[in-house]
Structure 1
Amino acid sequence: MQEIGLQTRFWNDWNASAREHAVHDVSLRQAEVVTGWLDRLEIRDAAILEAGCGSGWFCNHLSRYGSVTATDLSDEVLARASRRMPHIRFVPGDFMHLDFGAEKFDVVVTLEVLSHVEEQAAFVRKLADHLRPGGYLMMATQNRYVLENFNNVPPPATGQIRRWVDKGELRNLLENNFVVTELFTVSPKANKGLMRVVNSSRLNEPIRFLFGNRVERLKERLGFGWTIMALARK
């Protein structure tokens, strides 16, 4: 089991370098899906929990839909975020050991967190415990099938847990506590094998010119996205 101190140090450094001043297009696509769900479900004035908010880059967007509580191991990064965004309640610490008492939320958002926790089933149960009956879980997590087969990814660093899941594994994890209403992939990415050629900018630029994002969306629906997105209801 990874020591919490090592994880905290890793995520403070990673979020400071990778999320505090810029956000990757993979994360922006995840945010696009989540805000699309919030709009379609007509979520307003909701109590929202973001579990594993990183630098807090998504919190301002979520605050358009209600009051936001955001947690992360990155205590130093959250201290800076709280000064930039005093309207967000930032709670540093290990989500699995945070106690919100009887407080319940209408929506729980968690982006690319599941693969970085030791006990995934317990993490999903805790997400469900913090939701009101009928509340929504909006999750993004890395797609094991695509990362293992079509991408060379550096090994985990000290303090970084890595437990990717595929679509079937994610559905099984969620269905013990939720009714899964949507599950699909987004952001086709590849740096090895045939999918590297299929996703290359040289090939995709003329295709995008002719067809817009339709081909990218097709690859997402076929399961070739870097990220799995899941919408579920308690």
Structure 2
Amino acid sequence: MDTENVAHFTRLSSQWWDPQGEFALLHAMNPIRLQFMREKLREVGEWEQTRASVENGRNISVQQPWLQSGAWLSGQRTLDVGCGGGLLSESLARLGANVTGIDASSSNIEMAKIHASQDDKLSQQASLDYQSIMAEDLLAKGGKEQFDIVCAMEVVEHVRQPDLFLRTLADLLKPGGHLFMSTIARTPLSYFLTIFMAENLLRFVTPGTHKHSQYIDPDELVEHFRTQTPWISAGETTMSPKRLQYETRGTFYVPGLGKWVLAPRDSNKTITEAANYFFWIRKPL
């Protein structure tokens, strides 16, 4: 993790749970994060159920929690990397996941713990654990292939060695597990929106929060998982349609609505993934 970025977010740690403050856009993004996650998990679950039925010549019911309503992450061991003050971690825990939230900033973790302790449901259950630790150190402590789901939302653009970071996330996942990320493409549009407008002009976020040179294009993430962590061409995923191996999907903020929306799957990716986007990939079995 970039130590300069860790120090930056440590200074801002007290603002995590102010929905109108420094992290207002992340508060607004949380619902769309969960929407993307549920859509992908449901899609994979339905595909597996259909394939099992075809292979067995009869209707087979494959138990998948994300095909159900309510606690659709029930029992899923989930890691939230770069959890900050716990915005996503708390939501995942409320949906039934057994969540481990980690962050390199101890101040962020302290703020996350304080906020969770104020919710009786979260404070009384053992499904939400926060640790001030880096992903690489968690892996070294025995985290290899421990998690069904790994999330790294708005994190990789703050990392100095993204390939190493991605390999670490891959090693933390169980075979068949799901990796969810959101980040920002390295384009002129993303510079205009996220740095010139959001930081320098409108001051939605503190100047210096982002470094355009550290942004990562969708094609670069896909290429990593073709070559350095070769999931896309390996294992049983080759039997599945491309969208069930991996997917990139643009997302954008609509000021008039005060919320983020997912780009349609059939949209022009050159446009819709030119700034913020989601990435999902499944680890081969």
TM-score by length of 1: 0.75
Deviation of 1:148 (Å): 3.2
Who is 2:175 aligned against? Answer: 133
Deviation of 1:219 (Å): 9.6
In the alignment, residue 185 of structure 1 is paired with which amino acid? G
| Partner residue of 2:79 out of 28, 31, 49 | 49
In the alignment, residue 161 of structure 2 is paired with which amino acid? E
The reply on whether 1:148 has 2:191 as its aligned counterpart is yes
| Partner residue of 1:21 out of 12, 18, 31 | 18
In the alignment, residue 117 of structure 1 is paired with which amino acid? V
**Structure 1 counterpart SS, 2:86:** coil
2:110 and 2:249 map into 1 onto residues whose CA distance is: 34
Q: Residue deviations 1:40-59, cap 9 Å, x none?
A: 54253111001111110111
Deviation of 1:91 (Å): 1.0
Q: Residue deviations 1:115-161, cap 9 Å, x none?
A: 11011000010001001111110111112233036662548966866
**Structure 2 counterpart SS, 1:110:** strand
1:148 and 1:220 map into 2 onto residues whose CA distance is: 25
| Partner residue of 1:34 out of 29, 32, 37 | 37
1:219 and 1:45 map into 2 onto residues whose CA distance is: 29
CA contact (8 A) 2:101 2:129 kept: yes
The reply on whether 1:67 has 2:98 as its aligned counterpart is yes
| Partner residue of 2:109 out of 78, 82, 103 | 78
**Structure of greater relative contact order (alpha carbons < 8 Å, 6+ residues apart):** 1
**Structure 1 counterpart SS, 2:277:** strand
Deviation of 1:181 (Å): 1.9
Deviation of 1:77 (Å): 2.3
Unaligned runs of 5+ in 2: 46-65, 67-72, 117-122, 201-205, 233-244
Deviation of 1:29 (Å): 2.4
Identity across matched positions, percent = 20
2:75 and 2:134 map into 1 onto residues whose CA distance is: 27
1:148 and 1:45 map into 2 onto residues whose CA distance is: 40
| Partner residue of 1:92 out of 126, 132, 137 | 132
CA contact (8 A) 2:157 2:216 kept: yes
Q: Following superposition of structure 1 onto structure 2, how do residues 167-206 of structure 1 map, counting pairs within 5 Å?
A: 167-175=218-226, 176-177=228-229, 178-179=231-232, 180-187=245-252
| Partner residue of 1:9 out of 4, 7, 10 | 7
How many residues in Structure 1 have an aligned counterpart in Structure 2? 210
CA contact (8 A) 1:186 1:220 kept: no
Deviation of 1:39 (Å): 4.8
**Structure 2 counterpart SS, 1:53:** coil
1:94 and 1:116 map into 2 onto residues whose CA distance is: 13
Of 8-17 and 146-155, deviating more is: 146-155
Identify if the C-alpha distance between structure 1 residues 217 and 121 changes in structure 2 by more than 3 Å, giving closer, same or farther. closer
In the alignment, residue 91 of structure 1 is paired with which amino acid? Q
2:247 and 2:83 map into 1 onto residues whose CA distance is: 22
Answer with 1 or 2: which has the greater Rg: 2
The reply on whether 1:229 has 2:260 as its aligned counterpart is no
